[in-house]
Every structure is written in structure tokens, then in C-alpha cells.
Amino acid sequence: MDTLSVATGAWYETKEVIAAFVGATLAFALIVLYDWLKSRRRRRAHFAALRAEIEHCRTLAQTYLTDGIPAPLYRLPTIAYAHSLPALLADGGLNEAHTRDLLAFFNHVETFNRGLDQSEAARRILDSAERDAKLSEEFSRNHLKAEKLIPLRSQSNSLYDAAASVVNSRLRCYRL
């Protein structure tokens, strides 16, 4: 028999194979960690955008309630709602109850904005008696919508309270 050097162990016990396996496992783990952190940052950015928009909507609704202007020039923003909510839903970042609370808030914001548009149309009526009656009617309707978003009585829950609670609880989960 020839005395060539023959490996005594199995092929999978060699140092090269073990080193390659460890390297591949480490690379896989780093890629998964990077993707997880990237997804986490993206979700946090979406929730932060929603929180900023919800707070701005609250401020504008409060302004409407206190200023008493029936047809203001501003509208409540829905940009983050239009961009961040679909991304969070696609990413699985919200459960059904949280989705329901956010949809209820932003659907009411859109309804309020339509009411402000109707107030603006009423403001353009030429007949002053008809204009005043229509503006008064639209103002009282929009006042009720604004109160549903953020009630004047602090003891009652509002759509704002539910939406802000959802976003704040989710942001606490994404702190590093």
C-alpha cells in the first residue's frame, strides 16, 4: 500500500469546511440583522410621521373650535395617512384594532375637510341672507365634527385619543 497522506477524518470535519460554514452563517446573520434594523427604522419613521400628522390635525381642529371662523383657509393634513398607513399595513405593522382606530380618525378628518370645502362654497354665495344661513348651518355641522375629533370635555374619549394611543404605543415598541 502506498503511504500517501490520507485524511483520517470525514470531509465535513476539516478546518476549511468548518470555517466556510461559520463564515456563511455569520454573513447570513448580519444580513438578516441589517434587514431587521432597516425595517424597524422604516416602521418607526412611518409611525413618527403619523404621530406628527395626528398632532397637527388636533391643533387645527382645536383652532377651528376656538376661533369660530366658519370657512377657514386651512384643511387638516392627510399626507402621512396616505403614504405611511398603506406601508405599515403592507409590512404587517398594525393589527386589526389599531388599524380600525387610525382609519376612524383619518376618515373623520377627511369628512371634516369635506365640510370645510362646503363652508367655502357657502361663503361664495352672492345672496347675503342665503350665505349667512348656509354658513351658519355648515359651521354648526363642522363644529360637531371637530368636537368628535377632539372633544371639549376632557373626560370623554375622542378619535384623537384612540389614534394617538395607537401611534404612541407602537413608537414605544420601536425605541432602540
| Residue-wise pLDDT tens digits, 89-139 | 998 889 999 999 999 999 999 999 999 999 999 999 999 999 999 999 999
Query: Is residue 1 a part of any domain in this protein?
Result: no
Tell whether 19 is covered by a domain: no
Flag whether 3 is in a domain. no
Domain contains 14: no
How many domains does the chain divide into? 1
Q: Does 27 reside within a domain?
A: no
Range of the domain at 66: 40-173
Q: What residues contact residue 156 under an 8 Å CB cut-off, 6+ apart?
A: none
Q: Please enumerate in sequence order all residues whose Cβ is within 8 A of that of 148, keeping only pairs 6 or more positions apart, or say none.
A: 108, 158, 159
In-domain check, residue 130: yes
Residue 93, in any domain of the structure:
yes
Do the domain assignments include residue 122?
Answer: yes
Please, what is the end-to-end C-alpha distance for the chain in angstroms?
Answer: 65
65: Cα separation from own chain's centroid: 25
- pLDDT tens profile 31-85: 989 888 888 888 899 999 999 999 999 999 999 999 989 999 999 999 999 999 9
